[in-house]
Amino acid sequence: MAEKKATGKGLAGVIALDTAICDIDGQKGILTYAGYDIADLASNCTFEEVTFLLWNGRLPEKNELGDLSLRLTSERTLPPMVIEMLRLMPEDANPMAALRTGISVFSLYDGEADDMTPEANMRKAIRLTARIPVLIAAIDRIRKGLDLVAPLDHGSTAFNFLYMLSGDRPGEAAEKTFDTCLVLHAEHGLNASTFAGRVIGATLSDMYSAITGAVGALKGPLHGGANIRVMEMLTDIDRSGADPVQYIDALLGRKERVMGFGHRVYKTVDPRATILRGMIDTLSTERGTRKWYEMSIEIMEVMKERKGLYANVDFFSASVYATLQISTDLFTPIFAMARITGWTAHLLEQWKENSLIRPRAAYKGPRGLKTDRS
């Protein structure tokens, strides 16, 4: 096959591999998982159903969904040494660094860590999907000096996470909205973290190594931290008592970037943002606080008017998590909690017909130099 040179920075426009997991049409604002439109999935499917879809290329039958749900709930308990390790971390440790370390430690207590059979890899994908929410909740409660809330042996991933985080059982709107957030963040093609994970997996390294690398990539503020920056902006507006429109106009006047708008892939509306906008409205009513929602709507409208830019998924997910009273620095770990399904799906796909991913770089340095030491 003839080599294809990258047409832009960051491998923009370069097709690196074939996949049947996800398709994105950035010009039309269409996102599909295994052929299903994201709006259809968000409205009609749970996170567990979408997890099965990403791993198997089809939606589950009722008995298959029941079996997966049972396997997920049975794997929610963390190895005791992982909890002990979390207690030794500094209270001000970055939650993404703690998550990355915890996932790496998982491998030391999994007898199948280096078993690369398809069956073992599926079992590891289930363990990671089940345990990462528990790990994130434990990280947050330990650093706050709170007792851990044991995971339930029933209930959805969304319900269980919100329960472990706060100790209170979430309401119906909270569970549904958070479940939808997980669906929307579960997969998004060959993004930076997914590509990083596939590159590691292509060396035939183990799943834990690949996922640790993916988490490391997601930790970067140009990838997973955008909704944190959105929340910092919303909080600054709230604390200062500024008018949201005037605040945004001032940012634009200083030629500063307004986070949560525009997207590397989408040239029109991010379909995930449209879904979240409607759900945060309902959630705000249940929680009795519409501050973040109303502020977000004002900013969204002024950005469309001033710059012709549309809100992306990070913009409204910030409002969702804030309304659920989730700490801002947990936003990116929650991203990983959802994306573990996409990451593992890509690894399972990679290993079906594995080939080492080894692109070349175009050399731009000097040539023909001599040492003059003869």
Cite the active site residues.
263, 314
- From the centroid of its chain, how far is CA 158? 14
How far does the chain reach from its first CA to its final CA, in angstroms? Answer: 42
Strands across the sheet with 30-33, in order? 22-25, 30-33, 36-37
- Tokens, residue 366: 């000097």
Q: How far apart are CA 263 and CA 286, in angstroms?
A: 30
Q: How far apart are CA 60 and CA 53, in angstroms?
A: 7
What is the dihedral sign for C-alpha 197, 202, 208, 209?
A: negative
Looking at the chain, list the stretches that DSSP marks H as alpha helix, in order from N- to C-terminal side: 38-44, 47-56, 62-74, 80-87, 95-106, 118-143, 157-166, 172-185, 192-202, 207-218, 226-240, 244-253, 271-287, 291-307, 313-323, 331-352
Contact 292, 235 (CB under 8 A): no
